[in-house]
Amino acid sequence: MLDSGYIKALETRAHWVYWLHNEGRDVWRQELAVGQDSDTIEDWIKVIDYHLKVSDTFFMTKHFVDLVNHANHSVPSGLRFDFTWLQAKNGWVFLEKPVSFFSRDLDGEGEVPIHALGWYEIPAGQQISAGRTANEGTVGILLYRTPVDDGSVEQFIPFKTVILKNQESFEEAKMKTGTNDVELKEFYWVLTAFYLMGQRLTLTRRHETDRYTRRRGEREGKPVCSFIRSITLRRLEEDRVKEGQQRNIDWQWQWEVRGHWRNQFLPSTGEHKPVFVEAYIKGPEGKPLKPDSHKIFVARR
């Protein structure tokens, strides 16, 4: 039997497609009508429909979400998007642990939980805005939320979208698209997630959908995808670097070295690029962890 979290992700996406085709279009036409013309709304619906239909399905574990949350606090402003980080041309990612972003809309201000995110390929040469043309590796990025905060995912609302060209930073995209500072923080989280998904600390595994889940979806008229890919840390462990054995020092504790960004020089290209250094536990093996420390997940091959 497939993991219950994977089943929830598969069935959520299938239900969203079903809801969009049966009720969602009319709901969105009413909710999105304020301040937008009908053509813009219809184009928006087409993009979401296309994304949900063609994307590979991913499941991001809560441990990986926590890693992204930590890395995002200090992500360098000059980090540039690289489409090779992505593991499919089009992807829809269900978050085991929703991420909250600040929102200011007609209903007021507050934190909005994001349950899924995704990307879709934009063909090179396509005009994406005034003065911007897609290059090889340009993607549209989507954030999805639900209209209620009780954990239900019966309906969904496209929360935000942005188009990012390959080797473009969000700072550059901001200047060209008018993205505000609040939105910039949201999409930096996504950029950090994409970056980490492309690193060796990440393990992506394919899981075939079990027959029971497939048949149940068919009976309900909500067919699920034939497989799902989980995104997690390659290995959860407490020790990556073992030190102290060659020094004559009586260490009493092990201690945490949190993950952090480093502006690393690359001799092959002669330039500096931001690199995220994995978190790890430092100190002699067998010693207790220093009190008042937080549990940390360390990943390596």
Q: Do 110 and 170 fall into the same domain? A: yes
Q: Which residues contact 130 (CB under 8 A, 6 or more apart)?
A: none
* Domain final residue, candidates 229, 258, 291: 229
Q: Do 241 and 116 fall into the same domain? A: no
Summarize pLDDT for 103-127 with one digit per residue, the tens: 655 455 667 788 999 999 999 998 8
Summarize pLDDT for 44-90 with one digit per residue, the tens: 888 899 999 999 999 999 989 988 998 888 888 778 889 999 989 99
Task: Using a pLDDT cut of 70, give the percent of the chain over it.
Answer: 69
pLDDT band, residue 163 (cuts 50/70/90): confident
pLDDT at 151: 55
pLDDT at 242: 39
Q: Do 207 and 242 fall into the same domain? A: no
Q: Do 194 and 257 fall into the same domain? A: no
Beta bridge partners of 140: 120, 163
Contact status, residue 143 vs residue 117, Cβ threshold 8 Å: yes
pLDDT at 145: 83
Total structural domains within the chain: 2
Alpha carbons 194 and 187: distance in angstroms, whole number: 10
Question: Whole domain around residue 107: which residue ranges?
Answer: 4-229
Q: Do 71 and 220 fall into the same domain? A: yes
Whose CA is closest to 238, among 199, 278, 275, 291? 278
pLDDT at 77: 75
Contact status, residue 62 vs residue 82, Cβ threshold 8 Å: no
Q: Do 19 and 40 fall into the same domain? A: yes
Q: Do 214 and 290 fall into the same domain? A: no
Share the mean pLDDT of the chain: 77
Contact status, residue 9 vs residue 37, Cβ threshold 8 Å: no
* Domain final residue, candidates 203, 229, 255: 229
